[in-house]
Structure 1
Amino acid sequence: MKLQHHLGGIENLGPVSLETRVFVEPWEQRIFGIHTAMMAESAHLADALPAYAVKDLPTAFKSNWSWASLRTGAEDMQPFEYFKYRYYEKWLGGISQFFIDAGYLTAQELEEKSAFYRAHPDAALPDRPSAPIAAQIGAYLQQGDSGYHPPERAPRFAAGDMVRVADPAAVDHTRLPGYLRCKTGTVDAIYPGHFSYFVSTGVDGIGRPMPVYRIAFKAADVWGSDKSEPNTTIYADLYEAYVQAAH
């Protein structure tokens, strides 16, 4: 992940926020709702587990949208812009740019709508989802979208194996925490089945379904003994593409 999107081990970035509320402002709930509705209508759900009849939904939204889409939008932000905005403001920026890039509306139309609601904050909002779409959103919230697949082969590593984390080429989006690159740990568990991701990360290595491991790292091996509490273990779930033999 790029610097601004995984800050583990980076010093001098200011105080850590201790806010525990999921939504601090009411408008943040609406941003989360927009994202959830987009995921529930995403075209990729036709091939997901469980399969959804998204092709029959009365919606103009025909694109793929997932957590990967949201994260990629945030990771594409210019770093100084990223630090300037709050959490759900980043979501809004990524979602807005997606709709523009996908051709659902133009930047001018978005600006006109924004100006209208700034000038008329009490104006009526667009209609709520139709009954079929509301039912689809409810089903998605209850059943989710699994990347699980039946195993196609045996995992390369077994519990107890000493492994080393890979250092793949940097790409637009990765599931490998930057602070674990080239670190050595021990396979703690292997999750049953194989798992895919919402998008392919190209040379980063995530594509076809593969095993996922829970790997244990000694904190001192990650941060250094002078910056770690004694007897501390860090656990990370990693796709097999990111795992190599230690020797």
Structure 2
Amino acid sequence: MDSIADMGGMQGFGPVPAPEADEPPFAETWEGRAFALTVLTMGRISGQNLDAFRHALGRLHPLDYLSDGYYGRWLNAAELMLTDSRILAPGAVDARVRRNRGEDVTEPPLPEPRRPDYAPTAAGSLREVDDPPRFAAGDTVRTRDLHPTGPTKLPLYLRRRTGTVAALRPAHVLPDTHAVFEGENAQHVYTVSFRSRDLWGPEAEDFTLHAELFESYLEPDS
């Protein structure tokens, strides 16, 4: 799906701020709690995985995604994963907040939990693939024009673009299906090089961009 989380290469968001000297891991105490709650929610409570978490971020309302900040998005995604697994009822968090403010609100009843029936085939995300890689270093490839209804890790700004395979990487679980529990579908992964002006036009700064792309995102350039 094309979501607000796919912001790479977009204009109008201003310069990227420089990192702070001696920047702490968390700017505020609540951010550390949000990090811990989300990590706990992702696995032990909801039964989701890292790719499902990223998919949850992509499904947030654009206004919430932009206005709630980095760890605000994490909390919203954690709530969405808990709702997906029916650990929380839709609207339960808002109802609890309103009750804590003194409003006479009835919290929605808890649904029957529905954790994903899923177990990884191995630890981590790297896998072995029996089929030989389709491409080799030096091959010219073109990215596909993907607009799926589900998640994809092929960025908008790289679709329908021509690049050169720079290296073959270890095979990896495909996030597109792993995020929605439709199988690991491990694939070969390639580092593909693109010229910046082929992506953003002749006025762009001249540099080479490298992207790690799954084999199903690529086709031979004809």
TM interval, shorter chain, is: 0.7 to 0.9
The offset of 1:184, in angstroms, is: 0.6
CA 1:10 to 1:107, structure 2 compared with 1: closer, same or farther past 3 Å?
closer
The 1-side partners of 2:5 and 2:213 are apart by 17
C-alpha root-mean-square deviation of aligned residues, in Å? 2.9
Q: Does 1:168 align with 2:146?
A: yes
Compute the displacement of 1:145 (Å): 4.5
Where do 1:38-187 residues align within 5 Å? Answer: 38-41=41-44, 61=45, 63-107=46-90, 110-111=93-94, 114=97, 145-187=123-165
Distance 1:39 1:171, change over 3 A: same
Asked whether the equivalents of residues 75 and 172 of structure 1 are also in contact (C-alpha less than 8 Å), the reply is: no
Change in CA separation of 1:198 and 1:178 when aligned onto 2, cut-off 3 Å = closer
Alignment pair present for 1:242 and 2:220: no
Structure 1 length-normalised TM: 0.69
> Does structure 1 conserve the Cα–Cα contact (< 8 Å) formed by 2:168 and 2:190?
yes
Q: CA deviation at 1:161?
A: 0.2
The alignment-based identity, stated in percent, is 29
Residues 113 and 220 (structure 1 numbering): CA distance in 2 closer, same or farther, change over 3 Å? Answer: same
| Higher fraction of helix | 1
Corresponding residue for residue 202 of structure 2: 225
Q: Secondary structure at the match of 2:203?
A: helix
Query: Do residues 2 (structure 1) and 5 (structure 2) align?
Result: no
Shift of 1:118: 7.6
What is the CA-CA distance between 1:76 and the residue it aligns to?
1.3
Seen in structure 2, the aligned counterparts of structure 1 residues 118 and 34 have a Cα distance that, compared at 3 Å, is farther
- Distance, in Å, in 2 between the alignment partners of 1:88 and 1:242 is 30
Residues of 2 paired with 1:155 and 1:111: CA distance?
49
Aligned length, in residue pairs: 198
1:150 to partner: Cα distance:
1.7
Indicate yes or no: 2:51 matched with 1:31.
no
How far the C-alpha of 1:98 sits from its partner, in A, is 2.4
Q: Indicate the SS of the match to 1:227.
A: coil
CA distance in 1, matches of 2:175, 2:217: 17
TM-score under structure 2 normalisation? 0.76
Residues 199 and 82 of structure 1: is their aligned pair in 2 closer, same or farther, counting only changes over 3 Å?
same
| Superposed displacement of residue 7, structure 1 | 2.1
Instruction: Name structure 1 gaps, 5 residues minimum.
Output: 42-60, 120-143
Cα distance change on mapping 1:145 and 1:33 into 2, 3 Å? farther
